Structure 1
Amino acid sequence: MNKRLSRSDYIFSVIIIFMLLGVVGAFFYGIQLGTERVEAKQQELLDKDIEKAKGETSYNQSYLVSFYHTIYLPFKEFQTVWFKDMNDIEIRGNTLDPAALIKELSKLASAKYDTVVTQSMPSTSPLLQDAHKNYLKSLKLFSEAAKSFQTKANSMQVNVLASEIDKDAYFIEAKSFALQAQKQFYDSIVLWNETVEVNALKGALFVGHDPLPLTEWNQMNFNIKNQYITAIMLKNKYFKPYNPQDLLIGIDDMIKSGQAKKMNVSTVQELTDILVGTGAVRQDDFIQGKMKWYGAEKIPQLPFFFSTN
C-alpha cells in the first residue's frame, strides 16, 4: 500500500533541497573567494619582487661605483685642470702662453673622451647611460672649442681672454652637457636610495617646488637635497669646480647658523645665488662638515662623499 506524502512533507523536502543548494553554493563561493585572495596576494608579492629587482639591477651601488670611476672621474680630472688653467689665465695671464695652455686643454679633453668612450653602462640603467653620453658630448665640445679658440687666443688681450671663453657658445654648450650629466648621475643616486629605504624618501614630494622654502628644504633627506641642487645648477648654468654636496652643506650652514634668517632669506634659490655669487663654496666643503648633519644618512659608497679629491 502506497503512502502518499503530506503537504508538510513536500515543504520539508523543498527546504532541505534549498539548504543543500545553499551549502554547496557557499562552499564553491568560498573556494572562489579564497582563490582570488591567494592570487591577489601572489600578484602583490610578485609585483614587489619585480619592483625590487628593477631597483637592484638598474641602480644598485656597484653600477654607481663603476660609473664614478670609469666615467665621472675622468671628466672630473679634466674639469679640475680646466678651472686651474682658467684661474691661471686670469691671475698670471701676462706670464703665460694662453694659446699653448688652451691647446693642452683641447688635447686633455680629447684624451679623456677616448678613455670614457670605451666604457659602457647596462641598458637597465638608462639614466647612467644618458649621463655617459652627455659627459662624452661635453668632452667632445670642450676639445673642439678649445682647438678652434687657439688662434683667437693669440690675437686677444690676455685680460679679456677668460671672459671671452666664458661667453663662447661652444664652451657654454659643453658646460651645459656636463651639468645635465651631473644631474642624471645624482638622479640615479636617488633611485638607488629608494631601493634601500622601506618608506618613501623624506622630502621627495618637494622636489618640484620652485622656489623651495627653507622649511621644506629642512625636511629633505641628503640625496633628495643633492638632486634638487643639481637641478638648480643646471637651470642657472652653475658650472663650478666643486660638487653639489659642497653647495648643499653651505646652504645648511647658513640656515643652522641663523645667517639666512638675519639676511631675510626664505628660499633655497636665494641662498644658492648668494653662496655662488660670493664665491663662498669650496671643493670638499662637504667632507669637512658632513658629520654635523649627515652622519646617520644612507649615502652610497662613492669617494666624493667620503674623501677629498
Structure 2
Amino acid sequence: MDKRLTRIDLMFALGFLFMLVVAVAAFFYGVKVGASQAESRHEKATALPQAAAASVSLNAYQLQDLVSFYHTVFLPYREFLDDWQSAQQEWLSDESADRSAQVKELVRSAKAEYESVKVAYVPQVSPLLKDAQNQYLKSLKLYADGLSAYVSSANQATADIVLEQINANAYIAEAQKLSLAAQKQYYESMVKWGATVDIDIPEESKDKTSIDLAGWKKLPLLIKNELAAEYMQERSLMTGFLPQDLAARIDSFVASGQAAKMKLKSMSSVADLLTQTDAVRKGDFLASKVRLYDQELLPQLPFFSSDK
C-alpha cells in the first residue's frame, strides 16, 4: 500500500499547524492587552483621588471666598458689634440713656444677624472660613442669650455697674472669646490666599506675637495682620479697631524710632504699650496705607481700601 501523503493531506496538515500558531499567538496577545488595560485602569483609579485632592487644594481660600465671607459673615457680625460698642459708649457718657430699650434692640439685632450669617454659603474646602462662620454664629447666639437677662434691669443701676455685670456674664465672656477666635481664623485665611499668589509668603506662619522687632519688620503685611489678630485674641481685646489698624500703629511706632528709645524688643511689648494707652484707633491702617504699604499684597476687601 502506498503511504505517501497526498498533496491534499500535506496542505491540510500545514493549514492545521498554521491555525495552531495563530491561536497561540492570539492567546498571548490577548494576555498582554488585558494586562495593559488592567494596569491602565489601576493608574486611572489611583490618579482620581490625587486629582480630586489637587482640585480641592486649588479651590481653597480663593479671593472670591474671602470677599463673600466679608459681606455675608464678617460684616453682619461687625455691624452688631459696632452697635454694642456704641451703646456702651453712650451709656457711659449719658446716664439718662434708656439702656433697657437699647439692650432689647441689641438682642433683636443679634438674632437677626444670626439668621443672616447662618444662611451664608462658605465652601467646605476652606475649613478656616467655615470654622470662623460657626464661631461667629455661636457668638451671636450667646450675645442674644446673655443680653436678654438685662432687658428689664439695665436701668436699675449706674452704667458702670450694669456694664460690669454684663461683661462678667459667662455667656458674654464666651461670646467675646469666640468672636476673637473667628477673627483670627479669617486673617489666617488671608495668609493662605496670599501663599497662592506670592511664593515668598508661607502658607502657614510659624511666627508668634513674641517675635522680635527685627523679625517683625521683615514680615509681609498679611502675616503682620494675622499676628495682630492673634495678639488681640491672647489679650481678649474687643475693640473698634481691626488687626490691620494695630499692625499699622506698631509699624509707625517702630519707624519713628520710639520703640528703640524705649528699649522695646518685641511686637507684643509694643502692642501692649499702644493698646494700654489707647493709642490705636479704627482707621489707623487706612491713614498710613500709602506711606507704609504701597507695594504690599492684600486681598481686595473693603476694609483694606479707602474707596468703600
TM-score by length of 2: 0.79
Question: How many positions carry a matched residue from both structures?
Answer: 261
Spell out the pairing of 1:104-253 with structure 2 (5 A cutoff).
Answer: 104-201=105-202, 206-207=206-207, 209-253=208-252
Instruction: Show the counterpart of 1:29.
Output: none
**Alpha-carbon deviations, 1:41-92, whole Å to 9, x = none?**
xxxxx98x88874443110100000100011110111111111101001111
Q: Give the 3 Å change call, closer, same or farther, for CA 55–280 of structure 1 in structure 2.
A: farther
CA distance in 2 between partners of 1:55 and 1:281 (Å): 37
Aligned-pair CA distance for 1:307? 2.5
Question: Contact 1:214–1:266 at 8 Å: present in 2 too?
Answer: yes
Provide structure 2 residue ranges, at least 5 long, that are not aligned to the other structure: 1-48
Give how far 1:200 is off: 4.2
Using the TM superposition, give the Cα deviation of residue 210 of structure 1 relative to its aligned residue in structure 2, in angstroms.
5.0
Check conservation: 1:190, 1:227, Cα contact below 8 A.
yes
Q: In structure 2, do the counterparts of structure 1 residues 188 and 68 end up closer, same or farther at CA, with 3 Å as the change threshold?
A: same
For 2:73, the aligned partner's letter is: I
Hey, what's the Cα distance between the residues in 2 that align with 1:256 and 1:222?
15
Query: Following the alignment from structure 1 to structure 2, what is the Cα–Cα distance between the partners of residues 247 and 77?
Result: 20
Structure 2 matches for 1:39-58, cutoff 5 A? 53-58=55-60
1:200–1:67 Cα change, 3 Å: closer
Question: For the Cα contact (< 8 Å) 2:103–2:147, is it kept in 1?
Answer: yes
Tell me what 2:96 maps to.
95
Is 1:70 matched with 2:72? yes
CA distance in 2, matches of 1:226, 1:164: 32
- Per-residue deviation, 1:134: 0.5
Shift of 1:167: 2.3
Greater C-alpha radius of gyration = 2
Query: 1: distance between equivalents of 2:124 and 2:260?
Result: 46
- Indicate the residue corresponding to 1:264 in structure 2: 263
Scaled by the length of structure 1, the TM-score of the pair is 0.79
Alpha-carbon contact 2:201-2:220 (below 8 Å) kept: no
Instruction: Note the C-alpha offset of 1:165.
Output: 2.2
Q: In the alignment, which residue of structure 1 is the partner of 2:287? A: 288
Residue type at the aligned position of 2:295: A
Question: Secondary structure of 1:95's partner?
Answer: coil
Q: Distance in 2 between matches of 1:284 and 1:154?
A: 33
Percent identity over the alignment is 35
- Which amino acid in the other structure matches residue 65 of structure 2? Y
- Provide Cα deviations, 1:166-214, integer angstroms capped at 9, x if missing partner: 2222111111111111011111100000000133449x6651x452111
Q: What 5-or-longer segments of structure 1 have no aligned partner? A: 1-45
Q: Tell me, yes or no, if the aligned pair for 1:130 and 1:181 is still in contact at 8 Å.
A: yes
